[in-house]
Chains A and B, each alone.
Chain A
Amino acid sequence: MPIKSASLTSPSGQRIAFAVALVLLLCVPLVIRDIYWLDLGITVLIWASLATAWNISAGFAGGLSLGHAAFFGVGAYTSSLLFLRLGITPWIGVFVGALLAGALGALLGVITFRLKGPFFVLATLAFGIVVHIVNVNWRDLTRGAAGLLLPFRGGPQNMLFPNLWAYWYTGLGLLVLTVGISIAIERSRLGYYLVALREDEDAARSLGVRVVRSKVVAAALSAALAACAGAVYATFIQYIDPDSTTQFELSVQIALVAIVGGMGTTLGPVLGAAIVIPLGEILRARVGGGPALVVYGFLLMVIVLAAPNGAIAGVRLIGRRLRRLMDSGRKADA
C-alpha cells in the first residue's frame, strides 16, 4: 500500500510548509550576524508586508492602486506624531494609524468603486498625490520636507530597540499578521466574492455578490495593513519625511514588488519582496541608483508583458516538475 505523503498543495502539507518556513525565519537572527544582511532582511520583511497589503485590494479585488504610499505614510506619521507629541507608544499608535488609514481607504473605496481600469488607477494616483502635497505643506503638523526624527527614548515599550534582531522579530510579526489576514480573506466568502468581482463584475452582481461592500472592505483592510507597515518602518528607520513615505515613486514600487512576485496569490508579493529589494540594494551599491532603477523599469515591463503571473508561477512550475520527477522515481522503486 502506497504511503500517503503530505504534498505541498494539500491543506495539511501547506500548514507544515508554513510552520517550517516560520521556524526558519525565526532562526535567521541566530544565524545571520552581519548587520548589513540583517538590516536588508528587515527591509524585505516590511516590503513583503506592504506588497501583501497592496495585493489584497489589487490582486484579489482587481483595483490597481497607484496611491498606496498614502496609507503607508498615514501609518508612519500617525504613530510617530502620537509618540512625539503625546508620548503614546507606537505599539498603540500602529493601531490608531491602521484605523485612520482604514477609514481613508474605505472612503476612497466608496468614491471609486464604480471606476474601471485606467480610471481607477488615475483616481488612486490623484489621491496619493493629494496626500503627498498635504504632507509636504502642512508644516505645523508634519514639519513638511524637514521630516520627523524619532528620538531614542524608552526602548522596547516604545518599539525602539537597541539591536537589530528585535526589529527582525517585529517585522516578522508584521508579515505574519498581513499574510495571515491575506490567507483568511482568500479562504473566506469575501475572498471568493472579490475574485468573482475581478473576473466578471456583472455576473457576480447578478449572483448576489455585494459589490460595494466587498470592495470597500477590501480597500479598508488593504489600507490599514499598509499603515501598519508604515508605523513599523518609522520605528525601524527612526526618521520619516514626505519623500520616504508618501511619494508617488513609492506607490509604484509597492505595485512593482507585488507584480514581480505574482499578484493575486498569497505568497507572490512576499516572493516579490525577497527578489526585488535585495536586487535593488545590490545594484544600488554596485552600479548606483540610476542604473538600479533602469533595471526596475525593465523588469516591470518584461514581467507584465511576458510573465504577467509573476515569479511565483515559475516557482510553482518547477515545484510541479520536481513532484512529477519524485513520483516517477517512487514508482520506479516500487
Chain B
Amino acid sequence: MQLVLQIVANGLLIGGLYALLAVGLTLIFGVLRVVNFAHAEFMMLGMYGAYWLWAIFGLDPYVSVFLITPVIFLLGVAVDRVIIQRSIGKPDVTVVFATLGLSILLQNAALTLWQADIRSVSTFASGSVFVVGGVRLSVAMSVSFAAAMLFALGLWFFLTRTMYGKAIQAVAQNRRAAALMGIDVKRVYLFTYSVAVAAAGAMGVLVAPIFTIFPRVGQTHIVTIFVIVVLGGLGSVPGAVVAALLVGIIRAGAGFLLGTAWGELSYFAVFLLVLVVRPQGFFGRRGAEVYGG
C-alpha cells in the first residue's frame, strides 16, 4: 500500500510538471491553431538561464525565476512576431515545419554555445525531501508542482472570468467572428504565445535543481507533452491538466511494473489509439480535429 501511494505521489508530481508545459501548448493550439514543436526548447532555455545565473552569480533558481520568465516572455514576443504570425493561415506544411525548424535551431544553438555537457544546479532543494504519511516527497518537485497548479488555476480563472480572457476564448472559437466583434486578433495571438512559452521557461527554471540540463533535454519531454495534449483534447486547458496527471501516474506505474521502455510504449499505443478513435481527446470540442481555419 505504501509503495502504491509512493508511486502515485511520484507520478502526480511528474504529471504536475508536464501540466505546466501542456497547458501552454494546448492554449497555443486552441487559439492560434499552431502545434508549437519548439515549446520544450523554451523550457531548455529556462534551465540554462537558471544554470548560468546560479553558476556565475550564485542566484538560487527560486529567485532567478522572476528574472528569467520575463526574458523568455520577450523572446516569445519576438518569435511570435517573426515566425508564428507569418505562418498562421498558411498551408499545413508551413505551420508544422516553421516551429519544427525553430526547435532544431534553438537546440543546436544551445549545443553550439554551451556544448553537449550535462550540467546540474545544486541548491538546498536538490536532494531534500519531506515525509507525509510515510510518503517521501521531493521539495523541488513539490514546489514546481504547486507552481504548475497555481498557473493552471490562474489561467483558467483568467480565461473564464475576465474580459480579455473571454476575448481569447472568442478567438479560439472563431477568429473571423472575433475580429468582427472588434477583438485585436493579432494581439491575442501575441499575448497567448508569449504567456505560454514564458510558462514553459518558468518550468525549466523551477526544475533546474533536480533535472540534468543538456541541449536536447526538451526533446526528451516534448513527445510526452504531445501525448498529454492530445489525450486531454487539443485546446482544452482542464483536459491538459487532467491528462498530465494521468500520464504521470501511468508512466510511474507502468515504469515500475513493466520497466521504462514498455511503460513508454504503452502510453504511445494509447496515444495512437485515442488519435484514431477519438481525435478530439477526452475533453476537446467535437470537430476540433477537422477545423483548420
- A293-B216 Cα distance, complex, nearest whole Å: 13
- CB-CB under 8 A from A134, the residues of chain B are 265
Please tell me if B4 contacts chain A, counting CB pairs below 8 Å.
Answer: no
Q: In the complex the two chains form, is A116's CB within 8 Å of B109's CB? A: no
CB contact between B104 and one of A126, A133, A252, A304 (< 8 Å): that residue: A252
Say if the beta carbon of B12 comes within 8 Å of chain A.
no
- B107 and A293: CB pair below 8 A? yes
Q: Are A123 and B272 in contact (CB under 8 A)?
A: yes
Report which of B29, B108, B272 forms a contact with A118, defined as CB distance below 8 A. B29
Contacts of B87 in A (CB 8 A): 304-305
Chain B residue numbers with a CB within 8 Å of A290 are 108-109, 111-112
A298–B223 CB distance below 8 A: no
A58 to B128, CA, bound (A): 50
Instruction: Say yes or no: B93 contacts A301, CB within 8 Å.
Output: no
B24 to chain A, nearest CB (A): 16
Query: Is A30 engaged at the interface, CB distance under 8 Å to the other chain?
Result: no
A-side contacts of B292, CB under 8 Å: 116-117
- A304 and B272 contacting across the interface, CB-CB below 8 Å: no
B261 lies within 8 A of chain A by Cβ: yes
B94 and A297 form a contact (CB under 8 A): no
Return chain B residues, CB-CB under 8 Å to A298: 101, 105
With A64-B96, A263-B93, A294-B109 known as contacts, the answer to whether A122 contacts B104 (CB < 8 A) is no
Which of B96, B102, B234 neighbours the largest number of chain A CB atoms within 10 Å of its CB? B96
B141, CB-defined interface residue at 8 Å: no
Q: How far is the CA of A159 from the CA of B99 in the complex (A)?
A: 40
With A and B bound together, what is the CA distance between A308 and B87 in angstroms? Answer: 11
Q: State which residues 105-137 of A face B: CB under 8 Å.
A: 111-112, 114-119, 121-123, 125-127, 129-130, 133-134, 136-137
Number of A-B contacts (CB under 8 A): 137
Q: Specify which chain B residues have a CB less than 8 angstroms from the CB of A130 in the assembled complex.
A: 265, 268-269, 272
Given A122-B226, A129-B223, are A304 and B112 also a contact pair (CB < 8 Å)?
no
B108 touches A252 (CB 8 A): no
- Closest A residue to B280 by beta carbon equals A119
Q: Cβ of A297 and Cβ of B102 under 8 Å apart?
A: yes
Name the prevailing secondary structure of the B interface residues.
helix
Contact of A301 among B105, B108, B109, B262 (CB under 8 A): B105
The 8 A CB mask of B75-98 against A (1 = contact, 0 = none) is: 000000001001100111111111
| Interface hits, B268-293 → A, CB 8 Å | 268-269, 271-272, 275-276, 279, 289-290, 292
Known: A111-B276, A136-B261. A294 touches B94 (CB 8 A): no
B45 interface hit (Cβ, 8 Å) = no
Which residues of chain A are within 8 angstroms of B268 by Cβ–Cβ distance? 126, 129-130, 133
The reply to whether A308 and B94 form a contact with Cβ atoms under 8 Å apart is: yes
Classify the interface of chain A: helix, strand, loop or mixed: helix
Tell me whether A119 and B105 are in contact in the complex, defined as CB-CB below 8 angstroms, given that A64-B92, A126-B272 are known contacts: no
B interface, how many residues as a size bin?
35 or more
When chains A and B are docked, how far (Å) is the Cα of A49 from the Cα of B109? 30
- Indicate if the CB atoms of B289 and A116 lie closer than 8 Å: yes
Q: Which of B214-273 contact A (CB under 8 A)?
A: 219, 223, 226-227, 230, 234, 261-262, 264-265, 268-269, 271-272
- Mask, B103-130, CB within 8 Å of A = 1, is 1111111011000000000000000000
A128 CB to nearest chain B CB (Å): 10
How far, in angstroms, from A130 to B94 measured CA to CA in the complex?
26
**B100 within 8 Å of A by Cβ?**
yes
Q: Is B35 in contact with chain A by the CB < 8 A criterion? A: yes
Which residues on B sit within 8 Å (CB–CB) of A136? Answer: 261
Contact A126 B100 (CB under 8 A): no
> Complex Cα distance A127/B272, Å?
7
Interchain nearest-CB distance for A119 vs B (Å) = 5
On whether the beta carbons of B261 and A126 are closer than 8 Å, the reply is no
Q: Separation in Å of the A293 CB from the closest CB of chain B?
A: 4
Q: How far is the CA of A288 from the CA of B112 in the complex (A)?
A: 9
A291 in the interface, Cβ–Cβ < 8 Å? yes
**C-alpha spacing A117/B234, complex, angstroms:** 13
Q: How far is the CA of A252 from the CA of B276 in the complex (A)?
A: 22
Kindly supply a per-residue 1/0 record for chain A positions 271-295, scoring 1 wherever the CB is within 8 Å of any chain B CB and 0 otherwise: 0000000000000000011111110
B272 touches A300 (CB 8 A): no
- Is A115 a contact of B112 with CB atoms below 8 Å? no
Q: List 17 A-B contacts (CB under 8 A).
A: A64-B92, A118-B92, A119-B275, A121-B35, A123-B276, A126-B223, A126-B227, A126-B268, A130-B268, A137-B265, A252-B100, A289-B111, A293-B108, A301-B98, A301-B101, A305-B87, A308-B94
Q: Which residues of B contact A (CB under 8 A)?
A: 29, 35, 83, 86-87, 90-98, 100-109, 111-112, 219, 223, 226-227, 230, 234, 261-262, 264-265, 268-269, 271-272, 275-276, 279, 289-290, 292
Residues of A within 8 A of B (CB): 62, 64, 111-112, 114-119, 121-123, 125-127, 129-130, 133-134, 136-137, 248, 252, 255-256, 259, 263, 288-294, 296-301, 304-305, 308
